[in-house]
């Protein structure tokens, strides 16, 4: 599929990628996404791609001239619903194409009460993506009542995404290089690590380095970028580890410029 290969090259550079998801606003609008165009401008040319919902992509003034890849997210739910793990499809592959997307993404919660419906929806979307040559990023998580997030359940979630035909899979980090190697081996497609909750910069860089050593293709980190006091610098540091194979001690030197570069401060 020539179209899919060409689009994937815009997101995966030499098999590696640095994706910044900013699709959180439907679930519960978080601090840091008040002005997404400002974040886009600050990370353009450094991050490889962003994940956005259709409305943000449609109204963005910056995206038409951006270098970074666009992944349009198809799934949504809110934190106010009875079951936030029940992700629904809110747009189509065709609409994402009309917005100029380089890929689409879906969110599937393995172990949730609506797991079966989410799997069926993803299966159909995979086939639509294949027919258009559109890459699919599957956000595969072990989430649901009584579901424990551990190496085995994360492996299971990733395997489901692979079996259903995802081109890239985003999932939770397991906490160590050794255990994440098991996750990477369970699927023969690129695996990217989710950023999760806001954390300390050095721990973030260490986890990313260990994930890359385990065989990850990169990261999909949101809050730890858009809630950072200087999104541009943390993305630069992440890029050094992902694309330049830098050590954590080298990458963290970039963060010393937070005060010197005039940080794009995220206001509370």
Domain ranges of the chain: 2-257
- Domain range 2-257, CATH architecture: Alpha-Beta Barrel (3.20)
- Give me the pLDDT at residue 1, please: 76
CB contact at 8 A, 44 and 68: yes
CA distance 171 to 108: 10
Q: Of 213, 156, 143, 203, whose CA–CA distance to 180 is shortest?
A: 213
Q: What is the average per-residue pLDDT within 87-101?
A: 98
Residue in the structure block whose two tokens are 């299971």 = 156
- Give me the pLDDT at residue 179, please: 97
Q: Is the pLDDT of residue 246 over 80?
A: yes
Per the annotation, the verdict on 14 as an active-site residue is no
CA distance 90 to 243: 33
- Give me the pLDDT at residue 267, please: 42
This prediction's pTM: 0.94
Per the annotation, the verdict on 170 as an active-site residue is yes
Point out the catalytic residue in the list 16, 23, 102, 236: 23
Per the annotation, the verdict on 173 as an active-site residue is no
- Give me the pLDDT at residue 257, please: 62
Point out the catalytic residue in the list 170, 201, 207, 209: 170
Q: pLDDT tens digits for 3-54?
A: 999 999 999 999 999 999 999 999 999 999 999 999 999 999 999 999 999 9
Q: What is the average per-residue pLDDT within 62-71?
A: 96
Q: Is the pLDDT of residue 247 over 60?
A: yes
Point out the catalytic residue in the list 16, 48, 102, 141: 141
Angle of helix 201-213 relative to helix 231-244, nearest 10 degrees, comes to: 20
């Amino acid at each position: 599929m020539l179209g899919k290969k060409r689009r994937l090259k815009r997101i995966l550079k030499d098999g590696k990628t640095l994706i910044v998801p900013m699709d959180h606003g439907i679930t519960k609008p978080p601090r840091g996404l008040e002005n997404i165009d400002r974040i886009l401008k600050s990370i353009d040319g450094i991050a490889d791609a962003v994940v956005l919902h259709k409305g943000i992509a449609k109204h963005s003034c910056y995206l038409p001239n951006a270098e970074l890849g666009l992944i349009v997210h198809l799934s949504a739910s809110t934190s106010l619903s009875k079951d936030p793990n029940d992700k629904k499809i809110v747009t189509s592959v065709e609409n994402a194409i009309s917005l100029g997307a380089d890929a689409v993404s879906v969110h599937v919660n393995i172990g949730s009460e609506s797991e079966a419906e989410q799997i069926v929806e993803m299966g159909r979307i995979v086939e639509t993506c294949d027919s258009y040559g559109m890459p699919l990023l599957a956000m595969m998580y072990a989430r649901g009542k009584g579901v424990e997030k551990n190496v085995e359940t994360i492996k299971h979630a990733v395997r489901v995404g692979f079996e259903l035909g995802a081109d890239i899979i985003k999932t939770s980090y397991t906490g160590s290089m050794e255990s994440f190697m098991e996750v990477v081996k369970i699927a023969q497609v690129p695996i990217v690590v989710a950023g999760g909750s806001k954390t300390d910069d050095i721990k973030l860089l260490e986890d990313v380095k260990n994930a890359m050593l385990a065989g990850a293709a990169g990261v999909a980190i949101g809050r730890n970028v858009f809630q950072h006091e200087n999104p541009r610098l943390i993305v630069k540091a992440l890029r050094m580890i992902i694309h330049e194979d830098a050590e954590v001690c080298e990458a963290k030197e970039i963060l010393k410029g937070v005060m010197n570069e005039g940080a794009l401060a995220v206001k509370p």
